[in-house]
Amino acid sequence: MAKKEPKTNAMRILEREKIPFEIHRYECKEFTDGTAIADMLGQPHEKVFKTLVTEGKSKDYFVFVIPIDQELDLKKAARSVGEKSVQMIHVKDINSVTGYIRGGCTAIGMKKQYQTVVHESVRNLETLIVSGGKRGIQAELKPEDYLRACRGTTADLVKKQKG
């Protein structure tokens, strides 16, 4: 008899919302950066997104979702949520703020619904891949479904690439 796979909160929410998604699993004992995960899954870097949690000057939390090989531009991020400034929260605070752990954090199903902004490049994709809510699990779904599930908007959020 096949062992029933435990579902993450994010997977339960996607199912409840009747949003189709595909799960990609990979071996992961500890935090692995997104680029390594994309490579393990054989996926192009621009399709795999990371979830970053920040705190604004107002003490509110904001979630930004950007391609794994890009760097969050804090000024653009702050502007996109109407804050004077935002800064990354400390790694030790990720669980208490989101309910997820580093490397398994997703904008779907956090403890609270924080304002979420996804990098605008998501609009050019057929599907994107984000954390499925646990290390070792990635969820692939359509951008419009992801935006609906995390109640997100889109904006230009990343630093200009040098080159």
Residue 117 contacts residue 128 (beta carbons within 8 Å):
no
Q: Would you place residue 1 in the very low, low, confident or very high pLDDT band (cuts 50, 70, 90)?
A: low
Please give the average per-residue pLDDT across 70-84, as a whole number.
Answer: 97
Does residue 3 have a pLDDT over 60? no
Alpha carbons 66 and 88: distance in angstroms, whole number: 14
Locate 40 and state its tokens: 């393990």
- The neighbouring-strand residues paired with 88 are 54
32 vs 59, more confident: 59
User: How many H-runs (helices) and E-runs (strands) does the chain carry?
Assistant: 5, 8
**Rounded Cα gap, residues 74 and 5, in angstroms:** 38
Tokens, residue 159: 């630093």
Q: 5-49: per-residue pLDDT in tens?
A: 678 999 999 999 999 999 999 887 766 677 888 888 899 999 999
Which whole-number Å values give the CA distances from 104 to 8, 61, 72, 124, 129, in the listed order?
10, 18, 18, 25, 13
pLDDT of residue 118: 98
